[in-house]
Amino acid sequence: MREAYHVELDELAGNLAKMSAQVATAMETATKALLDADLALAQRVIGDDAKVDDARAECEEQAYALLALQAPVATDLRTVLAVIHAAESLERMGDLALHVAKAARRRYPNNALPDVVRPYFSEMGEAVVSLARRTEEVIKSRDVDAARSLEADDDRVDEIHRHLFSVIMAKDWEFGVAAAVDITLLGRFYERYADHAVSVAKRMVFVATGKMPGYGPGDDF
């Protein structure tokens, strides 16, 4: 019975890792759709979003069943609780990729991004997809040091996000209000995506150590 129980726990963590891979692919595809004004890619992300929602529902159903039937304690309980919270963050990451794809679709056949900001979104896209891929590995390994290393990429996304405001507020901005609004929203989508990836990694630190890393300034992670 205990062996079967631990197999179920491993399956639960594996399903969460698969969710992270799903949302990484979604944002990678959405970013390409945004940069290339590719309607087919945007539609693919939009159409696949329901799969992420289904994956969250499956993770939660499995987690609640383990809570009800097995009454896990210690590390096992932390694993189940972390999966419930992390699945919510991963679903939100999928939603943010969806928003990027919808922005690309909304401006098609035009590109939603003026050339002056395209390099920033290309860099943010690479950074957040890397975060999601590395989060997948952290879920599998529960490597605390690997989880902590995600902070650097998140900080870089934050820097770019802040810099975008100076670009659109500059006196020589010539692309109008609509483009500025698009850039503001899109930058926020990438920034929040990165934050959710770090949140999932923190949940894995909680599983491994029993201590939830702090979220405030000066807190250790």
Domains along the sequence of the chain with CATH: 2-209 (1.20.58.220)
Neighbouring residues of 8: CB distance < 8 A, sequence distance ≥ 6? 62, 66, 70
pLDDT the model gives residue 212: 75
In DSSP notation, 15-68 reads HHHHHHHHHHHHHHHHHHHHHHT-HHHHHHHHHHHHHHHHHHHHHHHHHHHHHH
Confidence of residue 27 (pLDDT cuts 50, 70, 90): very high
- Residues 188-218: pLDDT tens digits? 999 999 999 999 999 999 998 888 776 443 4
- Residue 217: the pLDDT is 39
pTM: 0.92
